Amino acid sequence: MHVDVYRNVNGGVWSLRDVATRRVFARATHVELREVSCVVSAAQRRRALREGVRNVHAVVRGNLVTHDGSRGRSRPTAAAGWVEVHYNPFRAGWFTARAENTTELCAVDRAERAIFDARGTAWMQGAMRRVLPPDDDLPLVLRALAQRRQRGIR
C-alpha cells in the first residue's frame, strides 16, 4: 500500500494517509516504509510561513511495511547506515539530515527505508543526500521567524 506519513503535532503520533484516496486511515506511534520519497508542497509551505502556523504540506511517501505492528522496535543507529531526518518549514523547504562526520545539513530527497518512532523521530536508511540548495523563500522565512518571536513561539 502506497502511503503518506506525517507527524500529527496535535496528537503526538504519526498519521498515515492513503495516497490514492487522500484519506487518513490510521494513526500510529511506529511506522516503517520502503522506497520512500520526501514530498514538500512549496505553495503550502509559503502559506505556513506567511500565516506563521504549521499545516500539512510535507510528507514522506512510500510503501507501507508495518505500523504499530509486530516487529521489534529497536532504535536505528548510524553504524547501520541510518540517518536522523528532520523537517522544519521555518528553517528550510526540504527534509534535512546531517552530512557524515560534519555539522552541515544536507537535503534528503529519497531513501530505501524509513522508520518513524514513538519519540517523534524519523530515520532513513540509504538516504540520497545533496548539498542544500539556496532557499528562494528566505525573506519570507525571516519575516515568519520574526513574527513567531514576537508571539513568543519557538
Convert the pLDDT of each residue in 74-102 to its tens digit: 567 665 778 899 998 888 888 988 766 66
23-74 pLDDT, tens digit per residue, is 999 999 999 999 999 999 989 998 988 888 888 999 999 999 999 854 555 5
Report which listed range, 55-59, 96-100, 107-111, 141-145, is most confident.
55-59
Mean pLDDT of 102-130: 85
pTM for the model stands at 0.79
**What is the longest distance spanned by two Cα atoms in the chain?**
46
Report residue 147's pLDDT band, with 50, 70 and 90 as the boundaries: low
Buried b (16+ CB within 10 A) or exposed e, 125-147: bebebeeeeeeebeebbeebbee
- What is the model's pLDDT at position 70? 45
